[in-house]
Amino acid sequence: MKRLIDVDPEIAKAIRLETERQASKLELIASENFVSEAVLEAMGSPLTNKYAEGYPGKRYYGGCEFVDVAETLAIERAKQLFGADHANVQPHSGAQANMAAYFAL
């Protein structure tokens, strides 16, 4: 976080404090999750910068070829995990993402 500390030390402090809070508390909120270091790394990648409306190979905007790779991997992994012929890994909304977490319990 060296770059962030240099650019915005207040936000860097908030992130550090939130990291400490998460490490010391147990949250029972379905829409929250403690992700692995690998997931944090992926979420901090340039893929976060990309808006990718539509489906792999059929996007509304250009420059999605690598987002398509990531989403196709997620689809194939979901199909394998659930023994399914088809999978959609895109939540329609935050509320639907919450319901997916609730129903998974």
pLDDT in tens, 52-88: 889 999 999 999 999 999 999 999 999 999 999 999 9
38 and 11, same structural domain? no
Question: pLDDT tens-digit profile of 2-42?
Answer: 899 999 999 999 999 999 999 898 888 877 778 888 988 98
44 and 26, same structural domain? no
92, pLDDT greater than 80: no
Tell me the residue range of the domain where 14 lies: 1-30
86 and 71, same structural domain? yes
Cα distances (Å, whole numbers) of residue 38 to 1, 43, 56, 91, 92: 16, 9, 23, 22, 25
88 and 38, same structural domain? yes
Instruction: Please tell me the predicted confidence (pLDDT) of residue 105.
Output: 77
45 and 5, same structural domain? no
43 and 11, same structural domain? no
53 and 5, same structural domain? no
> In angstroms, how far is the first alpha carbon of the chain from the final one?
35
Nearest Cα residue to 90 out of 81, 82, 78: 78
43 and 5, same structural domain? no
- Give the separation between CA 21 and CA 15, rounded to whole angstroms: 10
88 and 50, same structural domain? yes
Instruction: Please tell me the predicted confidence (pLDDT) of residue 68.
Output: 97
64 CB neighbour count, 10 Å cutoff: 21
Q: Name 64's Cβ contacts closer than 8 Å, sequence gap at least 6.
A: 50, 52, 54, 56
Q: Name 35's Cβ contacts closer than 8 Å, sequence gap at least 6.
A: 43
22 and 71, same structural domain? no
Secondary structure letter of residue 93 according to DSSP: S
Domain count, the chain: 2
Mean pLDDT, range 95-105, rounded to an integer: 78
